[in-house]
Amino acid sequence: MATGTIQVGDKSLELPVRTGTIGPDVVDISKFYAGTGAFTYDPGFTSTASCESKITYIDGDEGILLYRGYPIEQLAEHGDFLETCYLLLYGELPTNAQKEEFDYNVTRHTMVHDQMTRFFTGFRRDAHPMAIMVASVGALSAFYHDSTDISDEHQRLIAQIRMIAKMPTLAAMAYKYSIGQPFVYPKNDLDYASNFLNMCFAVPCEDYKVNPVLSRALDRIFILHADHEQNASTSTVRLAGSSGANPFACIAAGIACLWGPAHGGANEAALKMLGEIGTPDNVAKYVAKAKDKNDPFRLMGFGHRVYKNYDPRAKIMQKTTHEVLAELGIKDDPLLDVAMELEQIALKDEYFIEKKLYPNIDFYSGITLKAMGFPTSMFTVLFALARTVGWIAQWKEMIEDPSHKIGRPRQLYVGADKRDYANIGQRG
């Protein structure tokens, strides 16, 4: 085993260096505090691997994303979302028989306990759908007690299937509730993406015909969002799960984290930004704002902690955007014009080149989802819907690792030194 040596004050410590299948080596610092009496310090975890995983690999410099070794481009081109779910959960692409059984099981868990409809009526109609998703997914542990014992393999399996199956139903309910329309039940004769479109856009007064081009595009969008290594929301799910919390509660924690505009909330923020810019000739002004150190404005949908090249998902997303707009006969979408102009200018600008800021998956997704008829408030909900399988697969991997332990970081304390209590009359 390779090692590295570190000198801290008068202490010298030899640390094991581990090599993965691909990607950077890691220095195992688990004995660092015992060996040096010091902690390592890495706020934001820019140089820290929190776990070992077999699920997803990103090469940020080359713009490569692999799910269980398969390039995202190939999965998006040839597969469907439930096949990707099977791959992420179990590590291999399913055979025909395995795919049929998995699809059957997910399809037959899409209904939610009917008392959840009463749970929804407690919300204001104008509640943000992400607030409803955090609450209702967390509430699943109040309805499905028979799949919350994480020490029981069968209960874990049922919880995994239930999460993947019920997220579209809850997401559609959150949308329907916000527009005052009746909930639409799932239909077992529809595929996963078509079922979601039907639950969102069908009304009792007439039949709804799913557009196959749109459902294929949505299925591909779900594939692109399915997993992404140890991003903020996945790390949240892992940390919540490390205490032994039930999977529904852990996924609710992941949804809460994803909501932030620096993370999954960027798709909603990016579309709002494009609308604020308004026209291509306003782009230069906003690029200047993004470069101004004194201006907190950032280009939403640009930049990434890991990708220092084009986000491979953004390329597929851009192609899907054009497909959807063409299918819907939308010739000139002003938001797309602004996005294309912004991308052109930013990619040639010294600031973005030097800081390696490229469009990420959130840059084009909003234009596509808006064209499909979703309000901006639903964009991050769709991201959460798709990412649920990634969160569940990463949670499963951690729980099944017998060596896993509760996550409990330390700190650099810079507060007040020890001091005695002063009575109120002696203060100030």
Q: Using the rule CB under 6 A, is 231 a contact of ligand SDX?
A: yes
Distance in angstroms (rounded) separating the CA atoms of residues 114 and 106: 18
Q: Using the rule CB under 6 A, is 219 a contact of ligand SDX?
A: no
| Choice between 305 and 404, CB closer to ligand SDX | 305
- Tell me the residue length of the chain: 428
CB of 271 to ligand SDX, least distance (A): 12
For ligand SDX, the binding residues in 27-56 under the rule CB under 6 A are 44
Q: Using the rule CB under 6 A, is 299 a contact of ligand SDX?
A: yes
Please report the sign of the dihedral spanned by the C-alpha atoms of residue 220, residue 221, residue 223, residue 229: positive
| Choice between 148 and 380, CB closer to ligand SDX | 380
With CB under 6 A as the contact rule, the residue among 321, 360, 365, 394 that binds ligand SDX is 360
Helix (H) or strand (E) holding 17: strand 11-18
DSSP-assigned letters across all residues of 173-231? HHHHHHTTPPP----TTS-HHHHHHHHHH-BTTB-----HHHHHHHHHHHHHTS--SS-
Q: Using the rule CB under 6 A, is 254 a contact of ligand SDX?
A: no
3-state secondary structure of 143: helix
| Choice between 127 and 306, CB closer to ligand SDX | 306
Q: Using the rule CB under 6 A, is 300 a contact of ligand SDX?
A: yes
Neighbours of 218 (CB within 10 A): 28
| Choice between 68 and 263, CB closer to ligand SDX | 263
* N-to-C CA span, the chain: 59
Q: Using the rule CB under 6 A, is 262 a contact of ligand SDX?
A: yes
CB closest to ligand SDX, residue no: 303
User: Among this protein's residues, is 113 annotated catalytic?
Assistant: no
DSSP-assigned letters across all residues of 102-119? HHHHHHTT----TTHHHH
Q: Using the rule CB under 6 A, is 298 a contact of ligand SDX?
A: yes
Q: Using the rule CB under 6 A, is 302 a contact of ligand SDX?
A: yes
| Choice between 300 and 338, CB closer to ligand SDX | 300
Neighbours of 354 (CB within 10 A): 8
CB of 339 to ligand SDX, least distance (A): 13
Distance in angstroms (rounded) separating the CA atoms of residues 1 and 234: 30
CB of 360 to ligand SDX, least distance (A): 4
Size of the residue set binding ligand SDX (CB under 6 A): 22
Q: Annotated catalytic residue: which of 154, 304, 349, 420?
A: 304
DSSP-assigned letters across all residues of 376-422? GGGHHHHHHHHHHHHHHHHHHHHHT-TT-----------SPPP----
CB of 357 to ligand SDX, least distance (A): 5
CB of 57 to ligand SDX, least distance (A): 12
| Choice between 133 and 357, CB closer to ligand SDX | 357
Distance in angstroms (rounded) separating the CA atoms of residues 148 and 141: 7
In the sheet where 70-71 sits, what is the strand order? 56-59, 64-67, 70-71
For ligand SDX, the binding residues in 310-339 under the rule CB under 6 A are none
Q: Using the rule CB under 6 A, is 238 a contact of ligand SDX?
A: no
Q: Using the rule CB under 6 A, is 355 a contact of ligand SDX?
A: yes
CB of 146 to ligand SDX, least distance (A): 31
With CB under 6 A as the contact rule, the residue among 68, 156, 166, 263 that binds ligand SDX is 263
- Beta bridge partners, 59, equal 64
- Beta bridge partners, 2, equal 17
Residue span binding ligand SDX (CB under 6 A) among the ranges 19-27, 97-105, 176-184, 257-265: 257-265
Q: Using the rule CB under 6 A, is 237 a contact of ligand SDX?
A: no
CA 46 to chain centre: 18
Is residue 23 left, alpha or beta, with left meaning phi > 0 and alpha meaning psi from -120 to 50? Answer: left
Q: Using the rule CB under 6 A, is 381 a contact of ligand SDX?
A: no
Q: Using the rule CB under 6 A, is 266 a contact of ligand SDX?
A: yes
User: Among this protein's residues, is 304 annotated catalytic?
Assistant: yes
Q: Using the rule CB under 6 A, is 290 a contact of ligand SDX?
A: yes
Q: Torsions phi, psi of 4, nearest 5?
A: -130, 150
CB of 361 to ligand SDX, least distance (A): 6
CB of 410 to ligand SDX, least distance (A): 21
Neighbours of 405 (CB within 10 A): 7
Binding site residues, ligand SDX, CB under 6 A: 44, 228, 231, 262-264, 266, 290, 298-306, 355, 357, 360-362
Mind telling me the catalytic residues? Answer: 304, 362
